[in-house]
Chain A
Amino acid sequence: MIRKFFRTGVAFCLGFSVLILSQPAAANVEAVGTPLLASTLRQWGANFTRESSIAVAYTNALEDVSTTELFVGIYDVAIVEYPLTEFRVNKLALVQFPLFSFGVAVVTNVPGVPAGTLRFNGKVLAAIYMGQITRWDDARIAEINPGVKLPDIAIVPLAQSDGSITTLNFTRYLAAGSETWRQNIGIGSGLMWPLGEAQKDSVAAAQKLLDTEGAIGFQPAMNLARFSLTSTQLQNAQGEFVSLSDVRVGETSRKFIARAQRDLIAPVNLPVSGTWPIVSIVYGQMKQVPEDIPDAMETVQFLSWALKNPDKNSVPPGLVPVAYEVVAPYLNKIQGKKTFDGRAVKKGSAL
């Protein structure tokens, strides 16, 4: 009788073990955030899992939902385009750190005029988007494009209503260049555009631009290669007309992050020579004192590994990861300690 009972017990334990081991492992690093970076972070996550056996999952979510769900402990890290204010970061006891930057490009479809040769500034772009400049051969465009033969065709300004940081920072550039725009239209990620309805998002705007002769629009730099577009030159705060490149965007964001002055909210019109005038930074957010410390430390490991190994973790052209040295001080603020189950977790440890 005892032997039978013992056999049944062993069989039950073995069956239970098999059942547990056959379950797919739940993700250790659970990230939530902007769809803009979903494919890049999922690829990085797959690379990290191969190296470390730590699973990484990324869920798309709205901006503030990401922060809320991080705050209530559903996710380990939130990736947001629109950063929280310093006041709110402190209030929610979060750590917010820059992760990626990308330039915002002004693109055109003007027959016979390569986009790379065209030059714009905030004042002229604002006048175009307010309907004050309606033809490509307008004297105000010609003035900043000496030597370029501009055709006598109508300008078709393409706007977006997608609620993105691209739109927000583009309107910052217009507001900085035109007092009329600043006073009457303002800054926003989904404005009521003066010339009517806007395209749904940057992809729809890029397709419309390719199909429309005389069109002008703005795009995140990641879309340029995807749609075979070329950025025009833009005038920065120093009055220089500069071309868009990943190196220039990386340098601009580095200078903005290192900047001690408190007179600039976003990396738009940074008063430094050689910088690209419209840059957007995507931020990561984590809790200073996470509930699930092992998962939070694995998230720190994942981000550290990814940023330390750029050769193993590719990014699409136009997207520039922030250097690990910039992010490390923020990651080290996240509290790590011995957990309830006795796992020793080092503070900010990396692979």
Chain B
Amino acid sequence: MKLKSHFSGQKLRRALLTIVGVMLATNAFAGRVPTKYNDRYQTMYVEQELFRKRPELLACVNSAKEFVQANNNSLFNKLRFTPKSVQTGYMVDGVQNGVAFEKTVIKAEGRIRAYSMFENWELAIVTCDQPLGGEPKITLEMGN
């Protein structure tokens, strides 16, 4: 039995060319779309690898992500962590009202104007104040 084709050769070529064109355009404009860093599951593993040598910083990153989920703070979606974040991150500890705390500071990069055509990454500082046994307090300063 002979199968009747719904597509002529010309139509098929045109469809393939359109697909390739869309893929190329997506690739070329990839840097201009808003960065959605923290809401991807795969990103978690990338960050775990990035912060491999600094588990105390990763604890802060995890707390920050949970804070985002709980508060829908879109500012955190414009963050990215770099190898420099790992090198320059630090922690201090102390006692406040009889309760020990740890404060972790991570320097990240953030894009406030995410739709701009320029790569306008600016300094963003994530701070986690973690009292012993209590809920962490997360703050984000960006673009100052």
Contacts and interface: CB of A to CB of B under 8 A. Distances in A.
B59 A88 contact: yes
A63 B133 contact: no
A72 B49 CA distance: 18
B90 interface: yes
A35 interface: no
Please classify how large the interface on chain B is, using the bins under 10, 10 to 19, 20 to 34, 35 or more.
35 or more
Contacts of B133: 85-87, 262
Contacts of B130: 85, 87
A311 B88 CA distance: 46
A173 to B, nearest CB: 12
Contacts of A81: 55
A82 interface: yes
A27 interface: no
Interface stretch (B11-19, B30-38, B94-102): B94-102
Interface stretch (A2-10, A188-196, A239-247): A188-196
Contacts of A191: 90
A186 B90 contact: yes
Contact of A265 (B66, B87, B102): B102
Contact residues of A: prevailing secondary structure: loop
A182 interface: yes
Contacts of A143: none
Interface residues of A, number: 34
Given A82-B55, A87-B135, A163-B55, A186 B91 contact: yes
Contact of B54 (A65, A84, A190): A190
Interface in B80-107: 86-93, 95, 98-102
Given A62-B48, A64-B55, A168-B56, A262 B99 contact: yes
Interface string A71-88: 000000000011011111
Nearest to B58: A64
Interface of B: 44-45, 48-49, 51-59, 62-63, 66, 86-93, 95, 98-102, 130, 132-136
Interface of A: 62-65, 68, 81-82, 84-88, 91, 161-163, 168, 172, 175, 182-183, 185-192, 261-265
Given A62-B48, A64-B62, A261-B98, 15 more contacts: A64-B48, A64-B55, A64-B58, A64-B59, A81-B55, A162-B53, A163-B52, A186-B91, A187-B56, A189-B56, A190-B54, A190-B86, A262-B98, A263-B95, A265-B132
13 contacts: A62-B49, A63-B55, A68-B44, A85-B59, A168-B56, A172-B93, A175-B93, A187-B91, A189-B53, A189-B55, A262-B133, A263-B99, A263-B100
